[in-house]
Amino acid sequence: MNFKDFRWLERSMEGEELAERGSELFHRKNQNGQSCASCHGDNGEKISDAQSRFPAFNKRLGRVVTMPTQIGSCASERLGENWVEDTKENSLIGMYVATLADGVPVNIDVSGGEMKASYERGRDLFFKRTGHFNFACASCHTPPTSGSYLRIQRPTTFFGDAAQYPVYHFPYSLPGDDLEYIFTLQHQIKSCQILSRMYPGVEGSEPMTDIEVFLQASSNGFPISAPVNFYNLDAGYME
């Protein structure tokens, strides 16, 4: 059973608008005349499939990084911008980069090295029970719970879901958010942790990155679909 909510298939006009704003940031030059496009091509052609290959091991940083972490690192070192994970600028650029790979199958290599170790740690965390409710990620996203109603939603199985992120997630946001309703995969994980009364992880941290590696690798072969929307509350149209 690999239950999917058909709402994941909905293309998002709002997401397209946000991707356009991300494109503007991608092309915005700093005081030295440099922009993301200076390295990656005016149309992002040099990173057209990058979303399908992240997370990945970054030799320079010496660790596995997600796309938001990579964006933040490049922005800091190349542009002098503080566009770290969980910021509006990072989320907007990430949405734009994801649209470049729309339709490209996810292809995360976890066959060895640091990526394999990260995958295995993430798998263990996904099935680990913790928090006030003694839930694991798997408590909602594996049968028999997946596909059933839970908090007026129907949780999906984890195979393939990661291929849809980042998503336009309206009207739900986390306290203090100023991200234009963009949810990266780790922002979604953090949201689930809060709702399940777990201790929320720090986006970009090793444990959160490990979970993302596991989820992305579990989506290998599924085509990236960006941008899509996810409306948090069920209005009854699924019946």
Residue 237 lies in a domain: no
Domain range for 208 is 1-229
pLDDT along the chain (239 residues), means of 10: 55 88 96 96 96 97 97 96 94 97 96 97 96 90 71 75 87 70 91 89 96 96 87 44
Residue 63's DSSP bridge partners are 58
Place of tokens 């650029």: 93
Structurally, how many domains does the chain consist of? 1
**16: Cβ contacts below 8 Å, ≥ 6 apart:** 99, 227
Residue 57 lies in a domain: yes
Residue 235 lies in a domain: no
- pTM for the predicted model, two decimal places: 0.89
**Closest CA relative to residue 130, chosen from 121, 143, 139, 120:** 139
What pLDDT sits at residue 234? 45
What pLDDT sits at residue 172? 66
Residue 8 lies in a domain: yes
Residue 88 lies in a domain: yes
What pLDDT sits at residue 236? 42
Q: 193: domain CATH number?
A: 1.10.760.10
Question: For residue 144, what are its two tokens?
Answer: 């028999």
Residue 239 lies in a domain: no
Other Cβ atoms closer than 10 A to 181: 19
Residue 236 lies in a domain: no
Residue 12 lies in a domain: yes
What pLDDT sits at residue 9? 57
Place of tokens 């990656």: 40
